Amino acid sequence: MADTGRANVNTLEPFWMPFTNNRQFKSAPRMVVSAKDMHYTTDDGRKLLDGSAGMWCVNAGHGRAKIVEAVQRQVAEMDYAPPFQWGHPAAFGLSARLATLLPGDLDHVFYGNSGSEAVDTALKIALAYQRQRGQATRTRLIGRERGYHGVGLGGTAVGGISNNRKQFGNLLAGVDHLPHTHNLSEMAFSRGQPKWGAHLAEDLERLVALHDASTIAAVIIEPVAGSTGVLVPPEGYLERIREICDRHGILLIFDEVITGFGRVGETFAAERFGIVPDMITMAKGLTNATVPMSAVAVRKEIYDAFMDSPAGVELFHGYTYSAHPLACAAGLATLDVYAEEGLFARATELAPKWEDAIHSLKGRSNVIDIRNFGLMGAVEMESRDGAPGARAMDVFMRCYETGLMVRQIADTIAMSPPLIISEAQIGEIIDILGAAIDATD
């Protein structure tokens, strides 16, 4: 009999779960066993409305027939192809499709398997590109406080979440961080982009003055920070970051692992904000999370700099599973589903309704901020004395018990529903979450 893993379902110890309180989880596991469209089903047969698109990734909803069939077809036809010195059609097909969707002259795509790999790839390309153009002193990488760029050594170092860094010591040398843009007293309950805070981009000038531009390779930021609770960029902030990078020859990387593929109404947040970064990292919604895949898109100028080098391998980087056939098939089918169903336009249409719905929770007990952008949303609660995160964890558990999946991040509940969500289901999210907040002291 095929081993489905179920025979061992009561043996929870061997699986060291990522970013999870293992001891707590294993004492009261939350198991999901199937998923379709807007819902998961738990092992006790309950339906959970997916308020978080899994982990910000299942943008077209679960179990979409076209994607499932494309992956099934591909695995039967060719399970694997080596990506170094060999090609297969879907890899080129997907790249060409992405090039048409990407902003400006970001026309070339390098593949990894996770957002973390995309980030470390982008940072390495930035370092190599600076050398390639004769600026080898530019080795410094700038991230931002409260930024999340995955868990590779590079991504952890440029990331700005102290819990993610403090277990690991020094990480990379020569990294610095911009301040984050969140300020409750200036921007609590802003709808969409806060009006206050564009001036915080000037801190990049301060870092340039401190380190000298000739030492800085790249700045990496999430256009809208996801993992630390949906921090929406103040009006004018990203524009100023772009200007300062241009002025000083610093590459700008947008980490769009969460904001890509319709989450903010366009294919990429770069388009939504009208800014062309030098590189974009993407993952998650690229394949609707069906098969792991990530990518880094680079501007023509960056790609060309490598192609102008002496004959031979142009970039000493890549993964066994770069452009994996199953992932490429999933990516192509996912892009078809997004286009055929107009899901990015749908996100734009739903965004004002989502905004009204989530902001209707203002005034509930302990709610100190509500943030939204596109189909991203966050409700922040006051922390209990001496127990940060405990209040939102209680809300999260109540949501789970009453049929809703959300993300709990410190004392924030973050949401990012699949773009196929109905207006009635938005109402359902708000009803369940509102009741969970009301029931939590």
Does residue number 371 form part of the binding site for ligand PXG (CB under 6 A)? no
Contact 118, 296 (CB under 8 A): yes
Does residue number 222 form part of the binding site for ligand PXG (CB under 6 A)? yes
Which one-letter amino acid corresponds to residue 171?
L
Query: What does each C-alpha distance from 271 to 166, 247, 274, 338 come to in angstroms?
Result: 35, 21, 5, 17
By beta-carbon distance, which residue lies closest to ligand PXG? 115
Does residue number 410 form part of the binding site for ligand PXG (CB under 6 A)? no
Contact 374, 264 (CB under 8 A): yes
Round to whole Å and give the CA distance between 140 and 181. Answer: 22
Does residue number 258 form part of the binding site for ligand PXG (CB under 6 A)? yes
Listed in sequence order, the residues at least 6 apart from 363 whose beta carbon sits closer than 8 Å to its beta carbon are none
User: At its nearest, how many Å lie between ligand PXG and the CB of residue 73?
Assistant: 25
User: At its nearest, how many Å lie between ligand PXG and the CB of residue 123?
Assistant: 12
Does residue number 394 form part of the binding site for ligand PXG (CB under 6 A)? no
β-strand pairing of 294-299 with 279-282:
antiparallel
Does residue number 139 form part of the binding site for ligand PXG (CB under 6 A)? no
Nearer to ligand PXG, 115 or 262 (CB): 115
Q: Give the dihedral of Cα atoms 307, 318, 60, 373; nearest 10 deg.
A: -70
Contact 166, 151 (CB under 8 A): no
Round to whole Å and give the CA distance between 382 and 379. Answer: 10
Round to whole Å and give the CA distance between 62 and 420. Answer: 10
Binder among 39, 144, 149, 324 for ligand PXG (CB under 6 A): 149
Neighbours of 352 (CB within 10 A): 12
Nearer to ligand PXG, 129 or 148 (CB): 148
Binder among 38, 90, 119, 141 for ligand PXG (CB under 6 A): 119
Alpha carbon 435 to chain centroid, angstroms = 28
Binder among 51, 54, 226, 331 for ligand PXG (CB under 6 A): 226
Binder among 70, 257, 282, 351 for ligand PXG (CB under 6 A): 257
The contact pattern for ligand PXG, residues 50-79, with x = CB under 6 A and - = no contact, is: -----xx-----------------------
User: At its nearest, how many Å lie between ligand PXG and the CB of residue 280?
Assistant: 11
For residue 163, the 8-state DSSP code is: H
Query: What does each C-alpha distance from 161 to 165, 166, 290 come to in angstroms?
Result: 7, 9, 28
Does residue number 285 form part of the binding site for ligand PXG (CB under 6 A)? no
Q: Near ligand PXG by CB under 6 A, which window of 219-227, 300-308, 323-331, 418-426?
A: 219-227
User: At its nearest, how many Å lie between ligand PXG and the CB of residue 414?
Assistant: 6
Does residue number 227 form part of the binding site for ligand PXG (CB under 6 A)? yes
Axis-axis angle for helices 300-307, 115-132 (nearest 10): 60
Binder among 122, 244, 407, 421 for ligand PXG (CB under 6 A): 407
Nearer to ligand PXG, 56 or 354 (CB): 56
With CA atoms as reference, report the closest residue to 174 among 132, 129, 133, 211.
Answer: 211
Does residue number 116 form part of the binding site for ligand PXG (CB under 6 A)? yes
Does residue number 280 form part of the binding site for ligand PXG (CB under 6 A)? no
For residue 214, the 8-state DSSP code is: G
Binder among 95, 114, 267, 322 for ligand PXG (CB under 6 A): 114
Q: Where are the beta strands (DSSP E) in 286-390?
A: 294-299, 367-373, 376-381
Alpha carbon 415 to chain centroid, angstroms = 12
Does residue number 154 form part of the binding site for ligand PXG (CB under 6 A)? no
User: At its nearest, how many Å lie between ligand PXG and the CB of residue 311?
Assistant: 34
Residues in contact with ligand PXG by CB under 6 A are 55-56, 114-116, 119, 148-150, 222, 226-227, 255, 257-258, 283, 407, 409
